[in-house]
Structure 1
Amino acid sequence: MHDLDQNSARPTERDRDLERDPDAGTGGETGAVERLVGLPVAEVERDLILATLRETGGNRTRAARLLGIAIRTLRNKLGSYAAEGHAIPEPAAGPPG
């Protein structure tokens, strides 16, 4: 199954790379994806979302864009994670105003 380019129904360049080299998306670490096998999808999704949010310094808009999901979806998921007791990265403080 392919990720589709947002503007067309054609597979993305990343899909073509993965077809040529299945380890291309793992940064060369064959075991990176294999370590996810057996984990619940919801847990993997949560960890990916929270890691992306940390990577963006808490910037929800940027994290949603990187994840390819709507900002509203991200906010809903973060609300659920917070209700479950997970720590949600806060946005970084902006420049002094």
Structure 2
Amino acid sequence: MPYTPTLALIAFGLIVLVAIGVRVIRSLRRFASARTLVGDRVGDRVGLLKARTAALKVAIAQRRPSGQARTRANPAYDRRRGADRRTSNA
């Protein structure tokens, strides 16, 4: 039976292919869990950094006198000319 070695070789190849596939899938699962862990930690740290930045902006705004509080939140302040665009009725 000349086809027996060919069938044995094909079976061996399939077994090796399945073994390699199982190892690759395990590695991909570990990589996915590590990626999720790193993504969560980075997201947490970015959130903390944003909160600290916002708190710092509030603290700086509170220390300024009210006449110097010219920010993007004040639409009457013209940033190009550096002047107040409000008109008064007086």
TM-score (structure 1 length as normaliser): 0.21
> Structure 1 or 2: larger helix share?
2
Larger Rg: 2
Q: Which has the higher contact order (CA 8 A, sep 6+)?
A: 1
TM-score (structure 2 length as normaliser): 0.23
> Structure 1 or 2: larger strand share?
2
